[in-house]
Amino acid sequence: MKRILKIAGSILLVLILLLVASPFLFRGKLEDLLKKTINNNVNAQVTWETLDISLFKNFPNATVILNGFNVVNNAPFEGDTLAYGKELRIAMGVKQLFKNASDDPIKVDALRLDDAIINIHVDSLGNANYDITKETVADPAVAKENTVSTPFTFDLQHYELNNATINYLDDSTKTYLRLSEMNHEGNGDFSVSQSTLKTETTALASFEFDGINYLDNATLDLEADLQLDLDNQKYTFLENKAIVHDLPLQFDGYVQLIEEGTTVALSFETPSSDFKNFLALIPKEYATNLDGVQTGGDFRVSGKIDGDATDTTIPKLDIAITSTNASFKYPDLPKQMNNINIDVKIKNDSGFANDTYVNINSLTFKIDDDLFSANGKLRNLTSNMLVNLAIKGTLDLANIEKVYPLNLKTTLEGKLIADMTTAFDMDAVDKQQYQRIKSSGNAQLSDFSYVGEELPKPVTITNAALTFQPGIIQLTNFEGKSGDTDINATGSIENLIPFLMSKEDLKGRFNVVSQVFDMNDFSVTETVESATNKSTAGKTATTEETSIKIPDFLDASLNFNARKVIYDDLELTDVQGTVAIEDEKALLSNVNSSIFGGKAGVSGNVSTKTGVPMFDMELDLSKINIDQSFQNIQLLKQLAPIAKALQGSLNTKISLKGQLDENFAPILSTIDGNAFAEILTAKVDASTTPLLSQLDNQLEFIDFDKVSLDNLKAALTFKDGKVNVNPFTIKVKDVDIGVSGGHSFDNQIAYDLKLDIPATYLGGDVSKLLAKLTAKEKENLSAHVPIALSGNFTKPDVQLNLKSAITDLTNQIIEIQKNRLIEEGTEQITDILGDLIGGGKDTPKDSTSTTIETTPKPKADEVIKDITGDLLNGLFGEKKKQKEMKKDSVGN
């Protein structure tokens, strides 16, 4: 007994060791076989990250696991991923591992692919990216050698796809199919020529044909038993149950692979005729629970697909969608839709794709007393589609949600009345040849109301009327309102049909009249998340911002005339001009308005395409009130903060460009440009600004309240948040004030003032010195006083350079006296200089001269000292004393 146990234990130990060692014993062999098979049979780059072998996962079978399985195409789809799978499992019997694949192929029993992405692509030339099998070599010797390259046979009993995504795109037919979250498995016996395959499939299906979306993540559930005839490659539907988006379907027929392609002979129909089948086709985004819905009438889908699918043909089609006198009512809604009649045929009688057509023989419904109907034809579906449609009826938009629970984000109100026909081909739409769009009839929308997230205030349209004519649509009337804004418009729309069908830009020319147009009515509030400060670390704060965006779907021009336009806190009157909108850019031309008692002209452009609004503008302001404009327009306030002290009017031209904020106001730190201003009339109120007030206190000889700036002209440039003023001169009576320098938009100032003051204004002791000069000598005598201004406009720092002014005036007086003495002659020059410098001496007498009493002359340094003192007192003495000196001076 012990001997038997030892033997059994030894065998078990060998088996365990074999199971553990199998990945090391067979991995290299299998990996080499896979690579050799792929290289000899597949025209693509096939790789995997790792290959593992396990005898535990599916014992007694062996499992080969490829992790990170990837198939990448060669030309003409070079670099495209055909397939990727997180994990590919290949199951086979354990003894298959011991086979010599060159003599006896390895049989594969099951396949499983997890988290796969499969991309099937057919280009416009008909090339398919899944056609990666290498062509068979005709040379018998080479063919014999290639028999070794097929060491695997797939005698499958089971296969499955878990959580797969399959994308199918056909450029030639503009067909796109996507199956996501797909789980599919099949159980059968592929080792015999004929058997039954049982399959189960669930997925989310999206289908788009020629730009029109027919399914959007519709649920797909299919249980089908297929009879397999592997010798003839024929697959016949035995029993099946399909549900497409809650619509049940049954199939009969078969699919067979032939040398040229595929033969299809299928028929299908809905197993029941309940009108709920139609409601089930509504996309899930808008569909609701059908429990409790009362329906009447029928709804059927039936059809046949019969023929060969080859490179040049498709199967013939005969599909019918019908409903007769149907109705439905949701239990929680007040209204019912009645008289629903549907008669739609999809047919192809020739087997050529371009001959497929859709006949909408009838599509009608009724809500209350409002009847709506449509009919038409769609032909040449796969090439230049021909569209012929007619609609007629009345629809109360408010009844839509009273009949069907769409759960719209906004509530619609209004009545639509339409009676129109249209006929066109898609080539005319694509090439924008609108004259080939033959439309006629009219449409009218009244008492319309719309509230949406993209609009801050409700929009109401009292009446809008359209008249359809070949090539153009006339907007004969439009009366609308939003907030305080009213709009009346007429005009033309060039491409309403392309705009609705192909998402092209809406093109038109409009004339707009408004009594009040308030831009604030169109400012959208947006919630923005931002990081908070350290005290709330790890959290975010939400702030609300408003913005105005130029619609990206508009390609239109507007001639507008508004009695009043409100922009932020500004109010413009009698606004006229033209705005051309294209590619999220507004071009303004000939825009004129009345503002601040004058006129304003604007030209330039604004763009919101980059996300950050940009502008490039020319402003021409004529005879505007200085005080009002510089207090209310932030840009002007920053360009010349001191202007708020002025009372009067001016002309100015400003060129500038930069960024706009959410309210379309210039971001001052980003703008650059230049400005020229001409003051027509202006008086100064120095008390309104700290800078002028301080200058007024320190410069006693100037009364700023009596300063007139009439006809003053000034130019400036600005960039990088700084304003540079070109030098100019202000004349205050006989005082010239030269101004140069600049300031920043944060009010930091750096200006230089140069004052030329007539010496006669100084009065007092200075008058005694001036009395020694002739009237002509005093006429052009002035003191030059430099003043440096720094700090900011609210707290300025005023620095007067007294030493420079005093020295300059002293030197002028001495120079005048010297020049006079030179003119009087050398002898008198000597005497005067001697008296002035040497202390004085008696003048000799002759027989003809009169006696002249002499007094001691002051020294030159004393003269300068006396003049300096007089200047200090004269320039910067007390205000009362200065005014008295002014009077004396004026009196003289």
Residue range 74-113, pLDDT digits in tens: 988 999 999 999 998 888 766 556 555 555 666 778 889 9
Q: Are 27 and 51 in contact (CB under 8 A)?
A: yes
Backbone φ and ψ of 696, nearest 5°: -65, -35
Backbone φ and ψ of 41, nearest 5°: -125, -15
For residue 498, whether the previous peptide bond is cis, meaning omega lies within 30 degrees of 0, is no
Sign, Cα dihedral of 656, 662, 668, 672: negative
Q: What's the CA gap between 324 and 498, in Å, rounded?
A: 32
Residue 235, strand partner residues: 228, 255
Q: Two tokens at 873?
A: 């007192």
Q: What is the mean pLDDT of residues 699-728?
A: 81
Q: What is the mean pLDDT of residues 412-435?
A: 84
Mean pLDDT is lowest, of 107-121, 145-159, 167-181, 337-351, for 145-159
696 three-state secondary structure: helix
pLDDT reading at 745 higher than 60: yes
Q: What is the mean pLDDT of residues 170-177?
A: 83
Backbone φ and ψ of 431, nearest 5°: -95, 5
Rg (CA), the chain: 47
List all residues 6 or more positions away from 132 whose beta carbon is below 8 Å from its beta carbon: 42, 43, 44, 71, 73, 74, 82
Q: Two tokens at 447?
A: 């008492």
Q: Two tokens at 258?
A: 């032939």
* Matching residue, tokens 């202006």: 682
Q: Is beta strand 44-47 parallel, antiparallel or unpaired with respect to 796-800?
A: unpaired
Minimal CA–CA distance to 671: which of 635, 633, 720, 638?
720
Amino acid at site 473:
I
Backbone φ and ψ of 403, nearest 5°: -105, -40
Q: What is the mean pLDDT of residues 148-152?
A: 52
Q: Is 451 or 625 the better-scoring residue by pLDDT?
A: 625
pLDDT at 12: 44
Q: What's the CA gap between 751 and 716, in Å, rounded?
A: 13
Q: What is the mean pLDDT of residues 225-238?
A: 89
Q: What's the CA gap between 423 and 385, in Å, rounded?
A: 11
CA dihedral 285, 291, 295, 300 (to 10 degrees): 60
Percent of the chain clearing pLDDT 70 (strictly above): 76
Q: What is the pLDDT of residues 183-204, one digit of tens each?
A: 999 998 887 888 898 999 999 9
Q: Are 593 and 599 in contact (CB under 8 A)?
A: yes
Q: What is the mean pLDDT of residues 733-753?
A: 85
Q: Two tokens at 95?
A: 């003894």
DSSP state of 298: B
CA dihedral 33, 39, 44, 49 (to 10 degrees): 40
Q: Are 439 and 473 in contact (CB under 8 A)?
A: yes
Q: What is the pLDDT of residues 781-806, one digit of tens each?
A: 777 888 888 888 888 888 877 677 66
Say how far residue 151 (Cα) sits from the centre of its chain. 57
310 three-state secondary structure: coil
Domain boundaries, the chain: 20-172, 246-388, 503-744, 775-891
Q: Are 155 and 109 in contact (CB under 8 A)?
A: yes
Amino acid at site 696:
D
pLDDT at 529: 47
Q: What is the pLDDT of residues 3-60, one digit of tens each?
A: 554 444 444 444 444 444 445 445 666 677 777 777 777 888 888 888 887 765 665 6
Amino acid at site 344:
V
Q: Two tokens at 388?
A: 């012929």
DSSP state of 748: B
